A and B are shown apart, each in its own frame.
Chain A
Amino acid sequence: MTDTFHSSTPIYSQLAERINKQILRGELKPGDKLPSVREMGIQVNVNPNTVQRTYRELEGMMIVESRRGQGTFVTENQSILNDMRERLKREEISQFVVSMHDMGYADEEIEAGLQKFLANRKGDDDE
């Protein structure tokens, strides 16, 4: 996961997004310790000042908490993590819907198309 930050948004927020996704996928569990600022910097080739800002940002959203002298940990407060999960789902869906509307699809078409797509995929997975 060293490479590719795109250049249109700040690196600290792209890194925060990556950490959020790791939490969603369960790669980082509630109570897990994040790498130190410098270790994380080395892993992703990012300036430690920027990593620091990412951690501060996540702390502000209460997704992580820093414990004095021990490091930074994923929160064990499940309701905050549930909120994050809901929020990211809403954001992703809203982007999808906007771009479908941009191409001229109506809500009914989107809904029907999505259901059909998911049903087909489910069939594929069962095979």
Chain B
Amino acid sequence: MINLEQVTKRYMNKIALQNINLELTKGKIIGLVGENGSGKSTTLKLIAGLIHPSKGTITVNGEAVDRRIASQVSYLSELDEYYGFYNVRQTINYFAEQFSDFNLQKADEIRAFMNLDPNAKLKQLSKGNRGRLKIVLTLAREVPIILMDEPLSGLDPMVRDSIVKGLISFIDLENQVVVITTHEIKEIETILDEVIAIKDGSIIGHHHVEQLRIEQNMGIVEWMTSMYENSR
């Protein structure tokens, strides 16, 4: 479904990603883990067509990625940049106008699941509720690829739990692939099918999470620690 071949990304003279090869198939939730600045967000932005590789090719369902890939990709950015004068319902409606694949009914189900008041003004939302709203907006699109950049970062445990449950409830695993970058590994470990560790712009490991436990008796945290130590 998603293919990266020999992908390198340079910013000026700094290398963000080097010779990345990656194949991701549908029906899975995939975690992208690594230290700050390791290249996680760059990888997501490349798949989303928001930036272009300096070298190599990226394809989604066999087609080369360019700006038009937005019709197949729902991308949750690390930033939140919404209109403060809108309320929750208006924001949802605004997104429905932007994306023809946006399912309003599903959006309302997720909003209710997340306990978000449709009439609350955005500028008055707590950080946690803004995080929940981002999940609503990202998951309500019926697209094959969902990319989430740090959906749990900076949120309290209750919000993180509701987001994890929201993911389990509303991702369509028959048809979608989800890629999540995160620091909060413990929270999300039990919902990942695969984990990819990135360090200094290179992939240092890629595993099925259950296989890791069967073969090496390790969870993701232990595995990551050992990968990082070995690559030193």
Binding site for B on A (CB under 8 A): 2, 5-12, 38, 41-42, 44-50, 53
Q: Contacts of A11 on B, CB cut-off 8 Å?
A: 190, 209-210, 213
Q: Contacts of B221 on A, CB cut-off 8 Å?
A: 7
Please report the number of residue pairs spanning A and B whose Cβ atoms sit closer than 8 angstroms.
Answer: 58
Binding site for A on B (CB under 8 A): 27-29, 161, 164-165, 168-169, 173, 190-193, 209-210, 213-214, 217-222
Nearest B residue to A11 via CB reads B190
Q: Contacts of A48 on B, CB cut-off 8 Å?
A: 168, 173
B165 touches A12 (CB 8 A): no
Cα distance, A5 to B107, chains bound together (Å) = 31
Q: Provide 21 A-B residue pairs closer than 8 Å at the C-beta atoms, listed in order of the A residue.
A: A7-B213, A7-B218, A7-B219, A7-B221, A8-B213, A8-B218, A8-B219, A9-B214, A9-B217, A10-B214, A11-B190, A11-B209, A11-B210, A41-B191, A42-B169, A44-B190, A47-B29, A47-B193, A48-B173, A49-B28, A49-B173
**Of A5, A45, A53, which one neighbours B168 at CB under 8 angstroms?**
A45
Q: Contacts of B218 on A, CB cut-off 8 Å?
A: 7-8
**Of B173, B191, B217, B222, which one neighbours A46 at CB under 8 angstroms?**
B191
**Of A5, A8, A41, A42, which one neighbours B217 at CB under 8 angstroms?**
A8
